[in-house]
């Protein structure tokens, strides 16, 4: 562990062998400038104060750590929920969008662009852009725009222009491709990437802003229980809520688990279980893992959860899997729907279908284990109610 961490520090933008920046020179220049700005401000007291203050008064942080007594009784372990679903706009995405829009403001950006899958990142970006008075465009796959209609309408009310990607599978990957294209071609545009994926420096920046989740979680569990949990479980699409939750526990004796979207079955083309079935490759600007066919071409992903429906994964997760620090488990659509119903009925909390994957994984791993476990409840399920 220690040796790996040292190696990681030596090579900027890498997590072990994964990460990096595989993009054309013009884009590399923009990204390197962004990294310089990030380094300049991340420990700057007035920047940190503005970020913290907005998280507190606008987002509603710290989010509570709630002891789910009914679910605990049902599953035979002590289960806490980190309530990211209670954040303004309904998920963890807002932590990162507030952080990045403060960078964009300092860079003098005149337009914000973003990609979105579940629509949660689009809504969070449109929200942050409205707050700062900056123009905003959100790219979304056509399939996602149909299954997450309510979020598209929210983005429009917030004043963002929503642009539909129809290429490929018309899901998140295609929205990212379109956003990257627009970013390369237009100066003064800030690309507000929504997960811990893509070329350096995004995985580092997104992790930084999302690590507030793990920081609070650690303080809260120590206050309530007087000890660290046995395990933390998060769902994983690109990996931002998971890395945010795990970040402050990587060097502790705490087991870390992430639930991938298995889709309907674990067959290539029908699943989003990148870390279980993927192979190492360069995909969307970074060396990480990706679902690929036998000719090593990227495959479309599939999941009932738009936020998990992505064939790639953040490079830090590829690294954490390789060194066996986090274990990644596929959860099927049906298992997630069952967990969505279970949490709703037992606790009166409707989780996002993405977050329900983490709830399902708890049921599989910790049934009658008498363990102390935290689920990072990444978002709320209002967006899924009419569909499930
Ligand atoms: C976007 C989203 C996810 C997946 O994204 P990560 O970057 O893996 O966290 C999970 N849950 C919710 C509620 C989301 O909106």
Which atom of ligand 1 is closest in space to residue 355's alpha carbon? 11
Ligand 1 lined by 263 (C-beta under 6 Å): no
Q: What's the confidence (pLDDT) of residue 369?
A: 97
Q: What's the confidence (pLDDT) of residue 2?
A: 40
Q: Where are the domains of the chain?
A: 24-54+93-207, 62-91+211-387
Topology at the third CATH level for domain 24-54+93-207: Rossmann fold (3.40.50)
Q: Whose CA is nearest to atom 15 of ligand 1?
A: 120
Q: What's the confidence (pLDDT) of residue 87?
A: 98
Topology at the third CATH level for domain 62-91+211-387: Rossmann fold (3.40.50)
Q: Do domains 24-54+93-207 and 62-91+211-387 have the same CATH topology?
A: yes
By the 10 Å C-beta count (0-12 exposed, 13-18 middle, 19+ buried), 24 is classed as exposed
Report pTM: 0.95
What is the distance in A from the centroid of ligand 1 to the CA of 230? 23
Which atom of ligand 1 is closest in space to residue 197's alpha carbon? 7
What is the distance in A from the centroid of ligand 1 to the CA of 3? 30
3-state secondary structure the chain: CHHHHHHHHHCCCEECCEECCCCCHHHHHHHHHHHHHHHHHCCCHHHHHHHHHHHHHHHCCCCCEEECHHHHHHHCCEEEEEEHHHCCCCECHHHHHHHHHHHHHHCCCCEEEEEECCCHHHHHHHHHHHHHCCEEEEEEEHHHHHHCHHHHHHHHHCCCEEEEECCCCCCHHHHHHHHHHHHHHCCCEEECCCCCCCCCCHHHHHHHHHCHHHHHHHHHHHHHHCCCCCEEEEEECCCHHHHHHHCCCCCCCCEEEEEEEEECCCCCCCCCCHHHHCEEEEECCEEEEECECCCCCECCCCCCCHHHCCCECCHHHHHHHHCCCEEEEEEEHHHHHHHHHHHHHHHCCCECHHHHHHHHHHHHHHCCCCCEEEEEECEECHHHCCCC
Pocket test for ligand 1, best of 63, 193, 242, 307 (most atoms within 8 A of CB): 307
Residues identified as active-site: 93, 115, 378
Q: What's the confidence (pLDDT) of residue 1?
A: 39
Q: What's the confidence (pLDDT) of residue 10?
A: 58
Over the chain (388 residues), what is each successive 10-residue block's mean pLDDT?
46 96 94 97 98 98 98 97 98 98 97 92 97 98 89 96 91 90 94 96 98 98 98 98 98 98 91 94 95 90 91 97 98 98 98 98 96 98 89
The token pair that represents 324 in the structure block: 């066996």
Neighbour count for residue 324 (Cβ, 10 Å): 8
Q: What's the confidence (pLDDT) of residue 117?
A: 87
pLDDT per position as a tens digit, 338-384: 999 999 999 999 999 999 999 999 999 999 999 999 999 999 999 89
Q: What's the confidence (pLDDT) of residue 171?
A: 85
Ligand 1 lined by 240 (C-beta under 6 Å): yes
């Amino acid at each position: 562990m220690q040796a790996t961490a040292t190696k990681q520090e030596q090579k900027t933008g890498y997590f072990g062998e994964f990460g990096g920046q595989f993009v054309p020179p013009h884009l590399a220049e923009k990204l390197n400038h962004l990294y310089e700005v990030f380094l300049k401000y991340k420990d700057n007291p007035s920047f940190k104060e503005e970020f913290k203050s907005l998280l507190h008064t606008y987002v509603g942080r710290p989010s509570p750590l709630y002891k789910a007594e009914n679910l605990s009784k049902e599953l035979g372990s002590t289960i806490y929920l980190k309530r990211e679903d209670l954040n303004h706009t309904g998920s963890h995405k807002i932590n990162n969008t507030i952080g990045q829009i403060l960078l964009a403001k300092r860079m003098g950006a005149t337009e914000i662009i973003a990609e979105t899958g579940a629509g949660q990142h689009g809504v969070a970006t449109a929200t942050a852009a409205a707050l700062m008075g900056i123009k905003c465009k959100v790219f979304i796959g056509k399939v996602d725009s149909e299954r997450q209609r309510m979020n598209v309408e929210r983005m429009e009310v917030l004043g963002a222009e929503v642009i539909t990607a129809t290429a490929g599978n018309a899901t998140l990957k295609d929205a990212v491709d379109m956003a990257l294209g627009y970013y390369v071609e237009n100066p003064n545009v800030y690309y507000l990437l929504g997960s811990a994926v893509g070329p350096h420096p995004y995985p580092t920046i997104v992790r930084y802003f999302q690590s507030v989740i793990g920081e609070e979680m650690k303080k809260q569990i120590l206050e309530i229980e007087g000890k660290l949990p046995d395990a933390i479980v998060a769902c994983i699409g690109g990996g931002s809520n998971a890395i945010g939750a795990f970040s402050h526990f990587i060097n502790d004796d705490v087991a870390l688990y992430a639930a991938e979207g298995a889709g309907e079955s674990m067959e290539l083309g029908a699943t989003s279980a990148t870390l279980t079935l993927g192979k190492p490759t360069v995909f969307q600007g970074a060396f990480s893992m990706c679902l690929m066919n036998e000719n090593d071409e990227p495959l479309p992903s599939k999941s009932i959860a738009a936020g998990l429906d992505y064939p790639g994964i953040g490079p830090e997760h590829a690294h954490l899997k390789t060194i066996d620090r986090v274990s990644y488990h596929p959860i099927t659509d049906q298992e997630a729907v069952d967990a969505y119903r279970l949490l709703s009925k037992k606790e009166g909390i409707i989780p996002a279908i993405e977050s329900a994957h983490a709830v399902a994984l708890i049921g599989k791993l910790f049934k009658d284990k008498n363990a102390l476990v935290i689920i990072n409840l990444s978002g709320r399920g209002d967006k899924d109610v009419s569909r499930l």
